Amino acid sequence: MRTQRLTVFAGWAMVAIAVLHTIALAVHPYWAEWFAGGLRGAGPDPLSLATFWALPGGFVPVLALLGLLTVRLGRRGERLPGYVGWVLLVWVVTAVALIGPSGFILGTVPAAALIVSSALGRRDRVPEPGDRVSALR
């Protein structure tokens, strides 16, 4: 049960980070330019390009999808493999090392929850019939 709650919490934390990132950066003058094809031409404005990669072209949609998938799995009593939390943590730490303290630090919360959930899940796992462990009894 603890792993289920941690997994669901991690998922909602990822969704919240994606939503907060979108709210913080969504109000800018580039939407009209993007929909008019401004990113397809030669030499788009560097700030417009950076903003694109910070919002729809970057991690926001993927993080939201990963968060929603994590919530769904957690509600079904499943958990993500530990490597998902570790990869998320490495990504966050690398980003913070490259750009300094920023909202990326918030990513340590779902990463830690996924790592702990995976560790607890391995520890609390009950062998199923047919597992090698139960066959040795």
- Which residue bears the tokens 């030499």? 43
Specify the pLDDT at position 117. 93
Q: Alpha carbon of 20 to those of 104, 115, 131: distances in Å?
A: 11, 23, 44
| Residue 134 CB burial class (10 angstroms; 0-12, 13-18, ≥19) | exposed
| Nearest of 4, 26, 132 to residue 80 by alpha carbon | 4
Specify the pLDDT at position 116. 94
| Nearest of 69, 92, 93 to residue 10 by alpha carbon | 69
- What is this structure's pTM? 0.80
Q: What is the pLDDT of residues 83-123, one digit of tens each?
A: 999 999 999 999 999 989 888 899 999 999 999 999 998 77
Cβ–Cβ < 8 Å for 71, 11: yes
Mean pLDDT to the nearest integer, 4-25? 94
Q: What is the pLDDT of residues 22-81, one digit of tens each?
A: 898 888 888 888 898 888 877 888 888 888 888 888 889 999 999 999 999 999 999 899
DSSP per-residue string spanning 27-74:
-STTHHHHHTTTTTSSS--HHHHHHHHHTTTTHHHHHHHHHHHHHHHH
Specify the pLDDT at position 89. 97
